[in-house]
């Protein structure tokens, strides 16, 4: 895998806000493709991209969503061609795909154009769990998608898994991990279910109609993932991410190192030129605003130097490397040991943090209580 370039480079994220049908846990940010013509939305996204007038080298491109592969194949290809005609020498180009929406022909075309990483939204290898999550694929199609990716030439294939979902157990999670490992991907992401606001899952949970595994079971599932994936030779490099050596996701590392990323599309977020911005999520409002010649920001913030330093520390602590003390001071201008003196003392004493001459990181125990530590660094 190519090494990251200097920090003057940026990452580019395109949020394709479509899926075949709304997902019950993230539906607030997606819209079924059948309900809207995608081309005006894609046109607006490229208008927004042009408005940024990006002059820096683009190190990574990540096309996610939603599900980019639910677009007509020719439209997705046109998006890739347009991006790579504007940005040369991209180190890592990732496209998210749904296992039920890929073909060998499409994957061959994407690989030939320069896409070099696929992130397959597996979620689970249990068909009942997939059904409860509103997914349109089954476990067999996950295996088939990985097979097609290999045939198309992709050496870098990631699987996304979700644990602590409705009806899931430690045993079903263990089976999903076992089947994922057997497919020999180069990267596995394992996230616990997050209930987004105003989604069917969140509303059902609030009304007592949805039962989820408790915090203890969730913690056990995360610990099981760490053990099984480490034993299988995956490097645990971020709380929820595991990679074969050399296949860590360069784009996501930009987030955890608090490096610049420009987000394009409805609900996309950016950290660029000292500003944090977030676009409106509603598609019609996004398109209308962009076509009127304005950015479609729902929120905009210019954090202070100390806020940036605190955000950087919290993001760094998500990685197993933790905070590089010398690098942190070069990047932010703050001495981490001084800025976080009280929090470091508290969580070192409790066994959640450990300090070396060069780094500050979460302990094995601390990985399960990362949010607790983050609160005191904020």
Share of residues in the chain with pLDDT > 90 (%): 81
Position 376 scores a pLDDT of: 93
Share of residues in the chain with pLDDT > 70 (%): 89
Bridge-partner residues for 278, per DSSP? 269, 299
What whole-number distance in Å separates Cα of residue 121 and Cα of residue 12?
Answer: 20
Nearest partner of 260 among 75, 115, 54, 114, judged by Cα? 54
Give DSSP secondary structure letters for 129-196. HHHHTT-S--HHHHHHHHHHHHHHT-S-EEEEEEES-TT--HHHHHHHHHHHHHT--SEEEEEE----
Which domains are present in the chain?
10-256 (3.20.20.70), 305-377 (1.10.10.920)
Helices and strands (DSSP H and E) totals, the chain: 15, 17
Q: Is the pLDDT of residue 85 over 80?
A: yes
Burial 293-307 (b: 16+ CB within 10 A, else e): eeebebeeeeeeeee
Section 271-276 average pLDDT = 97
Pairing verdict, β 261-264 and 10-16: parallel
Position 209 scores a pLDDT of: 54
Q: Is the pLDDT of residue 325 over 70?
A: yes
Section 340-362 average pLDDT = 97
Position 82 scores a pLDDT of: 98
Position 65 scores a pLDDT of: 85
Q: What is the pLDDT of residues 89-148, one digit of tens each?
A: 999 999 999 999 999 999 999 999 999 999 999 999 999 999 888 888 999 999 999 999
């Amino acid at each position: 895998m190519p090494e990251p370039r200097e920090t003057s480079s940026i990452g580019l994220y395109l949020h394709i806000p479509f899926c075949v049908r709304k997902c019950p846990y993230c539906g607030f940010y997606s819209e079924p493709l059948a309900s809207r013509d995608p081309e005006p939305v894609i046109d607006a996204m490229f208008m927004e991209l042009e408005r940024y007038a990006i002059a820096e080298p683009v190190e990574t491109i990540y096309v996610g969503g939603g599900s980019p592969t639910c677009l007509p194949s020719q439209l997705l290809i046109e998006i890739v061609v347009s991006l790579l005609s504007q940005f040369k020498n991209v180190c890592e180009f990732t496209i998210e795909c749904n296992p039920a929406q890929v073909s060998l022909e499409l994957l061959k075309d994407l690989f030939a154009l320069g896409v070099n990483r696929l992130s397959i939204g597996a979620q689970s290898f249990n068909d009942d769990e997939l059904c409860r999550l509103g997914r349109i694929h089954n476990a067999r199609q996950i295996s088939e998608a990985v097979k097609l990716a290999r045939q198309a030439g992709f050496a870098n294939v990631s699987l996304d898994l979700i644990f602590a979902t409705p009806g899931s157990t430690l045993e079903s999670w263990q089976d999903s991990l076992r089947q994922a490992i057997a497919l020999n991907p180069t990267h596995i992401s394992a996230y616990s279910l997050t209930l987004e606001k105003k989604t069917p899952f969140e509303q059902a949970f609030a009304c007592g109609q949805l039962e989820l595994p408790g915090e203890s079971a969730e913690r056990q599932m995360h610990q099981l993932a760490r053990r099984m994936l480490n034993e299988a030779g995956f490097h645990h490099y971020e709380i929820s991410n595991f990679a074969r050596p050399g296949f860590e996701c360069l784009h996501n590392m930009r987030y955890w190192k608090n490096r610049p990323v420009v987000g394009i599309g409805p609900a996309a977020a950016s950290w660029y030129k000292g500003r944090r911005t977030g676009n409106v999520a509603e598609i019609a409002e996004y398109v209308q605003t962009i076509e009127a010649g304005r950015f479609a920001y729902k929120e905009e913030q210019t954090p202070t130097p100390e806020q940036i330093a605190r955000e950087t520390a919290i993001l760094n602590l998500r990685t197993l490397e933790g905070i590089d003390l010398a690098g942190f001071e070069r990047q932010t201008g703050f001495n981490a040991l001084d800025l976080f003196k009280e929090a470091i003392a508290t969580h070192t004493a409790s066994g959640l943090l450990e300090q070396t001459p060069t780094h500050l990181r979460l302990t094995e125990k601390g990985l399960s209580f990362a949010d607790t530590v983050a609160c005191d660094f904020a």
